[in-house]
Structures are given as structure tokens and as C-alpha cells.
Copies of this chain bind each other. A is one copy, B any other.
């Protein structure tokens, strides 16, 4: 058995996504099983939705790898729960690597599927692969999905996807395009958090009213 570089990235990403789910579940006092489910859904939910939308067999149903990763993530939180907050930077990097990896996987799976989808559809599928698991996680813990409110998260996937497309248009192969996409996703996310970049917040209609009253 030889382990590829992609498999290592997949492992890191799955672990980080699962841990993010399990941490939020534990903040809401979920039991072990509930935390496991939330962790698993965070890790594999995006890819599952992608595969259901593409009409292809669901990626994890033939391979226990993702279930085992999530079990390791649960163990990690149970053992190191108290110290997780000091590991925040590490998990942020791992989570970002996962985001990049899942985006590339989603794009490539869409392009190689029988549907002959246009490139923008592949970018959407890449974004769903990277970001939808976190949306499911937030729905499960009954919070407004984080990615809708702050941080540049899903947008990093979209820009990364565009970088993939531009690389292909420029004549590069899928390996270079995948690396370009991953680097852009990671760079965007790291810069966004480092410099507290975020998208403009939409004004609600109540805000206009308050403004007039002032």
C-alpha cells in the first residue's frame, strides 16, 4: 500500500472538517453519537451533495476511510478538548488545506462526469464540495450558517475555481491547474483572516428605517 500526496491532503482536510463539526457540537452539549454525526456531515456532506447532484455513486459509500477519520477526530476532541483552543492555528491551516483539496476534487469530479457540464457549473460543484458540509453543520447545531455572515470562505473556492479554469485555458494540465486552484484558495483564506477582510454586509430594511429616524 502506497499513500499518495492527495490522500494525505484528503486525510488532513477530513480530520480538520470533522473536528470543526465536533467542536461546535460539543459546545451545544451533543452526545458522543450526535457529535460524531455532525463531524461526519461536516467532513463528507459537501461531497455527498455534489455526488447526489451529479447523479453519481456517493464517494464515501465504498471506502470506510472517512468514517475512520471522523472517529479519530472524535477521539482527538475527547482527549485534547481542553487544549484545542491552543491548537487553533494548526486546525485553521488544516481546515484551509481541506477547503482547497475538496474544491479541487469537486471541480475535477464534475468535469470528468458524464454530464458534460460547463466550467462555471464545475466551479459551483467545487464550492459545494468545500463549503456545503459547514452549512449542514450549522443547520444541525441550529445556527445561521457561518459562511453566509463572515469571513471569505466559499468565495475563496469560487476564485480558486476561476484560477483552475484560467490555468486550463492557458494550456496547463490538470495537475498545474489543481495546484493553482489550491494555492489561490489557501492564500485567499489566509489573507482574509490575517487582514480581517470581509465582504460588504447588506443593509436590512430596518437599518434604512433607523437611518431615517436619526
Q: A residues touching B (Cβ–Cβ < 8 Å)?
A: 22-23, 25-35, 37-38, 48, 52-53, 55, 57-58, 61-62, 64, 67, 77-78, 81-82, 84-85, 115, 117-118, 120-121, 124, 135, 139-145, 147-150, 152, 154-155, 198-206, 208
Q: How far is it, in angstroms, between the C-alpha of A124 and the C-alpha of B44 when the chains are bound?
A: 14
A contact patch SS: helix
Copies in the complex: 3
Q: Which of B23, B35, B148, B199 contacts A140 (CB 8 A)?
A: B148
- Can you give 16 contacting A-B residue pairs, CB < 8 Å? A25-B148, A25-B202, A27-B205, A28-B144, A29-B149, A33-B152, A53-B58, A53-B61, A57-B115, A61-B115, A61-B121, A62-B118, A62-B121, A139-B140, A140-B144, A140-B145
Are A202 and B29 interface neighbours, CB within 8 A? yes
Distance of A33 Cα from B118 Cα, bound (Å): 21
